[in-house]
Structure 1
Amino acid sequence: MAWNEPGGNNQDPWGGGNKGKNQGPPDLDDALRKLQDKLNSLFGGGKSGGKSGGNSGGGNSASSGSSSGMFVGVLILAAVAYIWNAVYTVDEKERAVILRFGQFHQTVEPGLHIYFPPFETKYQEKVTELRTYNLRQQMLTEDENIVEVSMSVQYNIGDVKSYVLNVAKPLISLEEASQSALRHVVGSSEMYQVLTEGRETMGVEVRKRLQDYQDAYGTGLKVNKVNIESAQPPKEVQAAFDDVIRAREDEQRAKNRADAYANKVVPEARGQAQRELEEANAYRDELVARAEGEADRFLKLLSEYRREPNVTRERLYLETMESVLGTTSKVLVDVEGGNNMMYLPLDRLNQPRQAGQSTDGSSGLSQQDLSNIANQVTEELNRRVSSARSSTGRTTR
């Protein structure tokens, strides 16, 4: 139930009693006056007089005390607001530059600090935060072709003092320097290099040149990385450029196949050539050794011939006939000074005898039998030669 409704307790929520049926909201003048009295009591002033106040001197004294109390309160509030605005905090990723009377005073590190405006001016910047500037423009290459290059620059504030004091608009200087550095690098490169494998190298060159510009201008900015995100010809000539790219890829593919074939054939050819050289050297060494052996044999034979000419001549004759008739199956034995000739049917001796053939299919004559026959033939030849020489000696006498 409301306080002013019938049956209520007539309790005024603003502290007043029920003064009648016309009771309304509190008087704002009374509220302000009460607040003023409280401030005066706090700051040394007395209470103001009521409607039936004292003399005029007492009223002037109360007014002056109230004015002085208000002034002191305003000063205290102003001091509190000043200190509140002068105290500031610098985060770990920030640095602050303090100017005193317009001149550089100090660079503030992270922590809680205070400065004194308007005598001092504070510039607080984030120095570790990486910022990005994107650029996309068409430019001319060294071989007079137009390419469209998209680039991004990542940077931060390296020297906050230079960033604040040296250049009025360092970010605009960075943008203009980025365009200049990119145009210089692209203008010094050919179109094929810009569009294919030269992007990474271009990014490194642009970053170096851009950092040199920033150091020369004294902007205090540090360029961390430059990315050449895309490089392509204008849309009007894109189809022709694709044809050129495919042709170059076909050329490179053909070169790779040729290199692979050469890598396969050349070692084989070199190996074959080396083998022929080795065979030729071996054949030469063989011929030289054989010639040297024949020459040494001839010299030894000459010395033997000088000691025994007849025996040596007979031996040479026999060896020659043996080499000539060695492939035949018949042996003829001729005796000097006689007409007798002995015929040895070696062809039949080599044939297996039907009656004496063994069960395992071997021939009738063994190797021992052949050796015995050869020894008998040799003895017979020696005997005939001796008899022929003795008969020749008797005739001579």
Structure 2
Amino acid sequence: MPWNDNAGGGGGGPWGSGGGRKDDNNPWGRGPGGGRGRGPGGEPDLEDLIRNLQDRLRGLFGGGKGKGGKGGGIGIGVIAAGLLAVWVGATGWYIVAPNEAGVVLRFGEYDRTTTPGFKLKLPYPIEQVRLPEVTTTQSVQIGSDQRGVTMLTEDENIVDLGFTVQWRVKYGPDFPDGVRNYLFNVRDVDGAVRAVAESAMREVVGTTALEPIITQGRVEVSQRTRQLMQEVLDEYEAGVQILNVNLQRAQAPEQVIDAFRDVDAAAQDAERMRLEATAYANSVIPQARGEAARLIQSAQGYRESVIAEAQGQADRFVAIYQEYAQAPEVTRRRMYLETMERVLGGSELIILDQQGGAVPYLPLDRLGRDRVLPDQTTSGSNTGGR
């Protein structure tokens, strides 16, 4: 050995002096060749080394050197039992918070999922526990408020979108393998949700025109995107439940935003005018219908009155005819006199008696016009006196 090469000067190796010199400080003892615990060539004997090591361990743990080493065995057993108790007490239990689920791995393989509370398990490294949060709602933002992601619509227009996806781990009686899939099937869950969200939104936008996306069709776009995302993640067995997709930003690119705003304003004006026309129609149509009903009722009343009057005239004629049939001459004269009274009753008559000596050149047509009733003359004079 290298430490035995020094011939003189008492130079010994790290285990004591060489040359067969007695050295009580040699930890390996002396062998048959002059050194305690050494073999024929002066090297330490392996059996003696092991025996000396056991003796020293017994002495270290309080054991004696009695026959069979029974005292040392008891000390080692007590120490081993204490270490085992400490090991089990430190790693044989765990606590699951209310918002967590306990996933127990046995030798690195999934074994079971536990509910919140104080739980026991086999000590480490036999069983390990992971505590993912299963009731916390996670959020992924796609696009910012200032600038979103650009996508192509069905009518070959470009739309600028920004939306948020809310999700959480599938957990509960309806999803027995949800937590397991969440931990072991997808390495980067946030990245997977982000990629699936953008892909699903592009598919939905690619089958929708621009106008519904930026106006009244946002809710439908969000619902279709959420449904498509859930289907894809279920195929991946990612253990993720999509709660909601909020479409926060949907507008045309900044380069053409003014033109789209004008189009939007025109559409709003058209809608306003349509509503005004509808309101006007709702006010005019009932009025016209009422006027038509009034005219119809008036015509019906006139018809009834004319029929009644004609019926009365007919009845009167029949009554006169009956009287005429009984006394023709009297009835004829009475009818003549009544007719003449009705015809001449409203005209001015000037009866001239030729025997009275009327002058033929008098303005007879003005006699009736210049004649004033006495009552009118008196009334006029009284009024003038006032």
Asked if TM exceeds 0.5, the reply is: yes
TM range (shorter): 0.5 to 0.7
| 1:352 aligned counterpart, secondary structure | helix
- The Cα shift of 1:93 comes to 1.6
| 2:164 aligned counterpart, secondary structure | strand
Q: What corresponds to 1:156 in structure 2?
A: 168
Matched, 1:290 2:313: no
Amino acid of the structure 2 residue aligned with 1:45 = G
Q: What corresponds to 1:213 in structure 2?
A: 232
The CA distance in 2 between the partners of 1:148 and 1:191, in whole Å, is 10
Preserved contact between residue 163 and residue 219 of structure 1 (Cα < 8 Å):
no
Preserved contact between residue 89 and residue 112 of structure 1 (Cα < 8 Å):
yes
Amino acid of the structure 2 residue aligned with 1:241 = F
- The Cα shift of 1:104 comes to 5.0
- The Cα shift of 1:110 comes to 1.3
Match of 2:322 among 289, 292, 303: 303
Matched, 1:80 2:92: no
The CA distance in 2 between the partners of 1:155 and 1:331, in whole Å, is 116
Match of 1:232 among 225, 231, 251: 251
Q: What corresponds to 1:168 in structure 2?
A: 186
Cα offsets for 1:213-268 (capped at 9, x unmatched): 33443333222222111111112222222222223233333333333433333333
- The Cα shift of 1:146 comes to 0.8
Preserved contact between residue 63 and residue 75 of structure 2 (Cα < 8 Å):
no
Q: What corresponds to 2:375 in structure 1?
A: 352
Amino acid of the structure 1 residue aligned with 2:305 = E
Task: Give the structure-1-normalised TM-score.
Answer: 0.62
Q: What corresponds to 2:10 in structure 1?
A: none
Of 318-327 and 139-148, deviating more is 318-327
Q: What corresponds to 1:124 in structure 2?
A: 131
Amino acid of the structure 2 residue aligned with 1:196 = T
The 1:306/1:147 distance shift into structure 2, 3 A limit, reads: same
Counterpart mapping for 1:139-288 below 5 A: 139-159=151-171, 161-165=177-181, 167-169=185-187, 170-288=189-307
Amino acid of the structure 1 residue aligned with 2:104 = I
- The Cα shift of 1:89 comes to 0.7
Amino acid of the structure 2 residue aligned with 1:167 = N
Amino acid of the structure 1 residue aligned with 2:180 = V
Return 5+ residue gaps in structure 1 as ranges.
1-38, 48-56, 333-344, 362-397
Task: Give the structure-2-normalised TM-score.
Answer: 0.64
Counterpart mapping for 1:338-349 below 5 A: none
The CA distance in 1 between the partners of 2:138 and 2:376, in whole Å, is 113
| 2:132 aligned counterpart, secondary structure | strand
Q: Percent identity?
A: 35
RMSD (Å) for aligned C-alpha atoms: 3.9
Preserved contact between residue 203 and residue 227 of structure 1 (Cα < 8 Å):
yes
Q: What corresponds to 2:97 in structure 1?
A: 91
Of 242-251 and 140-149, deviating more is 242-251
Return 5+ residue gaps in structure 2 as ranges.
1-56, 144-148, 352-367
Q: What corresponds to 2:121 in structure 1?
A: 115
The CA distance in 2 between the partners of 1:187 and 1:282, in whole Å, is 67
The CA distance in 2 between the partners of 1:353 and 1:75, in whole Å, is 150
| 1:236 aligned counterpart, secondary structure | helix
Amino acid of the structure 2 residue aligned with 1:135 = I
| 1:197 aligned counterpart, secondary structure | coil
The 1:331/1:193 distance shift into structure 2, 3 A limit, reads: farther
The CA distance in 2 between the partners of 1:351 and 1:205, in whole Å, is 102
| 2:260 aligned counterpart, secondary structure | helix
- The Cα shift of 1:72 comes to 4.6
Preserved contact between residue 123 and residue 164 of structure 1 (Cα < 8 Å):
no
Q: What corresponds to 1:133 in structure 2?
A: 140
Preserved contact between residue 163 and residue 248 of structure 2 (Cα < 8 Å):
yes
The CA distance in 1 between the partners of 2:233 and 2:334, in whole Å, is 108
